[in-house]
Amino acid sequence: MRLIVLVFLSLITLNVSAQFIYTNIEPDVNVHSIYPDEISLPFILDINNDSNADLKIEGAIAFGSGARMIKISAYGNTSLLETASTNVPFSLTFNDTISANDFWTLSGPGLTYSTTYISYYNNKFVGLRVISNNDTLFGWLRMDFISDTIHMFYANAIVKDYYLNLVPGQEVIIDETVLPLAENINAYDVSDNKNGSDLYLTYDKAINESKVSEYRAIIVKESDASTFNLISAKQVLQGNYLSMIPNGMNFSDTLASDVKDKDGNLIVEQVPYRIFVLTLADGVINTQDYLSQSFSTITLNTYTEKVSEIFAEDIYNNNNSSDIQISFNKISDESTISEYRIIGVNLAECDSFSFDSAAVVESGNYQVVSCNNSNYEIQLESGFNDNHGNPFTTNTPYRFFVMTVANGTTTTQNSLSRASNTVTYSNPNAFKAGQYLGNGVYYFNVDPDSTVVPPYEMGISSSSYDFDLNNDGQMDFTMIAYLSVSYGSEQYYSKIIGLNNNKVASISTYTDTLREGDMINKNLAWNTDWQYLKSYSQFAWWPIIITGLWDFNKDRFLGLNVITGTDTIYGWIRLQISSYNRVIVKDYACLIPSNIVEESEYDNDFGLFPNPASDIVNIIPHVSSGSKVDLEITDLCGKTILKTQTAEIINTLDVSNFPCGVYLLKYSTSERTVLKKLIVERKN
């Protein structure tokens, strides 16, 4: 189904008289070919200002060939100047004439631009004939026909301005009717010097520059722009505008640091300006001056530096937003900002989330991070809301942005980072390949890495490695590499066997190869039989055959499932397989639901920082001076790591030798016992 939309724009009519109507379209309108899976939105024009549509410009698809085109159609009593042999609009140039003697096509199917028939061009004209109140009027529409920069074999029509001669029957000479004025005025904030040298100005020269003696770029405060006109522009004093003599080139340059506005004031930050260009007549061919302006305002600011390297991951198991950790690099000079703000956005909205969107996020819907002059790993608060104030929910994908907030002195404008990767947090009984932290997680780092050596290197038939996945003293899996020789062939195998009906995630008779972050849960295909990782077969009469799903020399994960009396445990082993089935075992972990611990209601009586910790942690029992406190640290399997009694207000504990993982820290007084989770983690 086609969608037809009448588009209303800011059409700046520069000259309306008893002789003609000229309308400049600001900004120029881009009508593109129909993209795949997209509905074209036509641009509709009223040429003679009678409130009736005269022209429609739209993307189109050729019948049969499917070629993408730009189509221009006339309504009612409007006609187009046509190239008879190809059914395309006649592309008129600057010196052409439009009259009743031309070949006109009536309203109806319309004419098309296609790269099959015409070349791309700039500043060409379409001849127009409008019959109004039985009078025949002639005019033109100026356009560019250019290649689409995104989609190959597609095109864009850039609609610029149009003209209609109101004298019935009179021919139109394009050279005499195109107004000599500067066009497409744009200004950009390109530096942080806090003066006019931050301003980069561009504009297009008049198409018929022989009628121009001078251009004057005038900077006007936005508060004065609505009353600034041609008369005002001519009265601006020398020194308060930028003068340029026509040279056949479009203008683009950075302005001087001492450039002034129309009132003689230096250009400063945080003041909105609009740029006007006064085009002065040569006084011979042309005696009329013209004033054109930028379509949008420009406000200079010193922007904060953007945060880089944002990474989000679900590493905890609290069943709320605090499961998520956000990592990002600090900016180079934190003295220029007051704080960072972490903003969470539903994945469905991320493509449209912009700086303007972030600027209106209300307090309470982002997390403030104070500057500490180091890179950041921030655990989200348990009550973290998304940008709309909605609580985070499980199994919903999110991405994160970090805003750097200006300090108002050395910087005046905030900046927004790019989006992080996508992250989805799951309930506490969900587990991911590579996850080594979180409530109820047991992790073991095989240090140094252990290699299940191919048998031919050892002169034996097989070698193996055993895994106690959940650290309960009972082996759960065995990994074997072995050699089979028969009838002139050698076959090298590596496989894993689940003991006591423990299961391995598999595809057919081969183990599934999980990537970091893949979910390990009941939805995987589980198998209690032994499963091949890789096989390598060499026959005297046949080429080498390699089978299995593992990529050589890349870290991948095995998904594992162990059933105990009370728990369904999911886990992983990180492996790397090289040639001839050399298996390198790196680390493994599992989630033990019965070890998930809820912290005491008195946890505010117990200070513990930093947490997570990598080397040193400070323990502060909030008790009266001189009172003795029993401290005990255990792992999630109940093994005591440390037990002591202290009366110190602050206790410093060295955990640099603790394996990464979650520990229980318990302190007891005569009044109560308090449990606290201690997380030890280190980044490689």
The pair of structure tokens assigned to 515 is: 């990537």
The chain-wide mean pLDDT, for the chain, equals 81
Tens digit of each residue's pLDDT (9 = 90 or more) over 621-659: 665 556 677 888 877 656 778 888 876 666 788 888 888
Residue ranges in 58-209 assigned as alpha helix (H): 174-177
Question: Is 606-680 the same fold as 308-423?
Answer: yes
Spatial neighbors of 543 by CB under 8 A, at least 6 apart, are: none
β-sheet bridge partners, residue 194: none
Class of domain 183-300: mainly beta
Fold of 606-680: Immunoglobulin-like (2.60.40)
The pair of structure tokens assigned to 405 is: 């907030």
The pair of structure tokens assigned to 399 is: 């991405």
pLDDT at res. 581: 67
pLDDT at res. 683: 60
pLDDT at 210 over 80: yes
Tens digit of each residue's pLDDT (9 = 90 or more) over 604-620: 556 777 878 888 888 77
pLDDT band for position 534 (cuts 50, 70, 90): low
| Rounded average pLDDT over 490-503 | 82
Angstrom distances, CA of residue 684 to CA of 194, 323, 447, 503, 660? 42, 21, 13, 30, 12
Other beta carbons within 10 angstroms of residue 355's beta carbon come to 13
Rounded Cα distance, 682 and 616, in Å: 12
CATH fit for domain 308-423, picks 3.30.1340, 2.60.40, 2.60.120, 2.30.30: 2.60.40
Tens digit of each residue's pLDDT (9 = 90 or more) over 445-479: 888 888 887 665 555 556 788 999 988 888 999 88
Tens digit of each residue's pLDDT (9 = 90 or more) over 121-170: 678 898 999 988 889 999 999 988 777 655 555 677 888 889 999 999 99
DSSP letter assigned to residue 116: T
Tens digit of each residue's pLDDT (9 = 90 or more) over 237-262: 999 999 999 999 999 999 999 999 99
Tens digit of each residue's pLDDT (9 = 90 or more) over 36-78: 555 567 889 999 888 888 888 888 776 555 566 778 888 888 8
Domain boundaries, the chain: 20-176, 183-300, 308-423, 434-591, 606-680
pLDDT at res. 6: 31
Whole-number percent of the chain with pLDDT over 90: 32
Residue ranges in 17-64 assigned as alpha helix (H): none
